[in-house]
Every structure is written in C-alpha cells, then in structure tokens.
Structure 1
Amino acid sequence: MSKELTHRGHELKELGWSEQDIFRYIELWDYRQRWGAINLERDDRLFLRKAESALPKIQTQKVSVKKPLKEKNYYTRILFFLDTMNTMEKELDVPKGTKGLWTILLEEELRLLDYFQPVLGLPDTLKAKAFNPFREQFISSALESYKKDTEMREFDFNVLTSSLEEKSNKKCLPLREDKYINEKSYPLIKKDKVEILRKQVREQFAPLVRTTLPSLSESDKPNPPEDWIPESNS
C-alpha cells in the first residue's frame, strides 16, 4: 500500500506529463489504495511504478528546529539559580545596593552567554563544568580582598537543585560540587564595591568562556563592550 495520503498528479503535470497519462496514474493510484497492487494488471503496475519513479522523493525526516539560547537547559538552569538568589536577597535586611557575590557571578555568566551565543549542546555543557572551580576561586579571592566590605549570611545551595528538579521533573546538576554540599555561607558585598567586583568577573570570565566552550573555538568575536547589555534587558 502507498504511504501517501493523496495522489501526486499535480506534480506529474509540473513535470510535463500529458493529461491522459496523469488521469491514468490517478485512476491506478486510487485503485491500488482501495484494492491493493496485487490486483493490478502487469502493464498498469509498471506504469504506476514509472510514474512514481519520476516524482521527487518525499522528505520524511523531521525538520530540526534550533532551540533558542534562552531555552537551552544550561541557560535556564543558571537563570533559575540566579532568580532564586535574587528573590532571597530582596528579603534580607541589608543596606540598599548590597549584592551577593554569587548573583554578580551568575549575572555576568548569563551576559556572556547572551553575547557570545554558544550552542550549549552536550559538548558545551560538559566543558562548562570548568566554570565551577572558577566561581569558587573568585568568591574565595573576593572574600580575602574585601573582608571589611562583605557581610556573611546563610543560604542552602542544595535547595536550589531540589527546587529546580521539582520544577523541571528531571535530574539537574547542582551549582556547586559535592565537596561544598554542607557549605551555606552566602557572602554579600557593599554597594560601592559591586561594580569593582563586576568588572573583575568580566575580565576573568570572558576569556574562560571563549576558551572553554567548544562551539566558540573558532569564534573571533571580541569581548563585549563594558556598556553592552542583552536586548531583553535593555
């Protein structure tokens, strides 16, 4: 039985077949659909085969739709972590403008992803694990350099992962590695030091993103200008 739902006589017409041959093809095609090819005469079967051989092959493969960057699993994961932290920070009783070191890091990471537009397929997400030690080292260095300008609060990072898993109904990678599973310290930086830390993140994170993600290996795009912001945030 033919897999087609309707005949393709109009396509034979475009190929220059005569009205008589097209009519014969349609009649034979309809007969085969109803009664099967076995009941056709040999000449009719050969004619039908000739007609269908002349037609272009039907493309049956699925058309791949490129998922936008903001819908990629890695991006939505980091964004979820950032949104959760921002919500928590708004509820803290701290001076206006005080900001978490973690939110600065994640904001800048998303900004770089928006700018460079990596594929964020499996090769990228596997390599992105290299961002974990960078984040931890940056936090550690910032705490050492700005002791007098930081305030420590508590935050259960494990809740981030469990909340995301509950929301997405699938297993998710935690923000921090297993060795930090019991670490709940959440450093906040004073307002007048936020932009200083942000600039340091940009200087260090941009080259790391470019050299770490395979999909950016051949990119010659320069680092984003200091005043660049994603269109969605402008």
Structure 2
Amino acid sequence: MKKQKKVIIFDLDGTLVDSMGAFADIAAHVMHSYYTIDSQKARQLYLETSGLPFHDQLEKLFPENPLNKKAVKAFETRKKNAYFETKAYADTIETLQALKQKKLKVVVSSNNFQDLADQYLHKAGIKPDLVLGWKPNFSKGEAHFSYIQEQLGVGRDEMMFIGDSLHDGERAQEAGIDFIGKTGTFTSDDFQRHFPRSPTITKLSELKRVFST
C-alpha cells in the first residue's frame, strides 16, 4: 500500500453480507439434484470456487455439461427467493460510513445481477458511492476495475479491493490492485498461502484502523 488509497472496493456476499452459508446450502442442493454429487462435497466445491459467477463455477466443476444452464437457473431462482432473508454483518454500515467520512469512495463489486445487488443494498440501508453488478461481459474483476478507474478518475495504486474468496484475491492481483482478505469463507492461512503480501481482517470494523489517516 505505497500510495494513499482513494477508492475502497468491496465484494458483497461474504464480505459485506452474511450470505455465503445460505448460498452454499442452495448450491449443494442444486448440484446434488442435477449431478448426483454428494451434498456435503457439493457444498465444499461451491465454497472452494466462490468468487466466480455460478455459471462459471459450474463450467469449472462440470465442463460443458448440458445440465449447467438448467442448474444455474434453479440456483438463481432459489437464491433470489432467499437473498432478502440474509443480513449484512453488524459492522457493515458503520464501517462504510466511517470510510466515507475519511473522504474515501466506497464501491461494491458483485457477481450478483445488477438489479438484485441494487435492491438488496437499498433494503439493507447500505449506501456505497457506486454499485457494480454482473452483466454480460461485465463482471467482478478487470471489467469492474476498469470502469471504476475511468468513472472515478483514479489510478490502480489508489484502489483497494476487499473480498472473502481466493478468486477475489486473484482478480485483484491480476489487475495490479492491492487486496485485503476477509476471513470467513477462507482462513487467514488460506489467504497468506496465496497472497503472502496481503493483509487479512476478521471484521470489517478493522478497516477503520487500516485507513486511519
């Protein structure tokens, strides 16, 4: 973190919102139904490949399987029905407000569909400066980072990405953006093995100390 940050980018699920457990249960049910894989193993595979859109997860786990499209539709339908029952972490709103008071721009980058991300954040009372969801050829990672850079007029060394998955860290690393791993889906040891130069946090409120100046 050589240069002072101006934009803090957050993954949504598992980072700002305690939703990964519910999503993993839905994914396990769907994968068990469509691919006759053991539910516990399916849940593990979902979490291990988290950070990708579900259709990309399935293509990685079951390449070119003709059932993938139907499985994605089943997952997204069940997920949408359950999503609004999930809660933001207790320190989410307070932490984001504190960062904005420090004149930092707060951005959410999610692989949820744009309208779903917008609806959830509005309902939860979470108010970032910019919300980016998934659209064709526009997903979390390079596409989102480039858009943020252009819209907010910042360099990549002035951006920080915070996420709960190894794929989040990989996307940041590929884009030349500093990363902080939030433990929960993965452990601190998991993050340190893959990204030894990146710090980890267990609670969002720790960011108030990280960005104390």
Question: Would you say same fold, with TM above 0.5?
Answer: no
- Relative to the length of structure 2, the TM-score reads 0.28
- Relative to the length of structure 1, the TM-score reads 0.26
Structure with larger Rg: 1
Report the structure, 1 or 2, having the larger strand content: 2
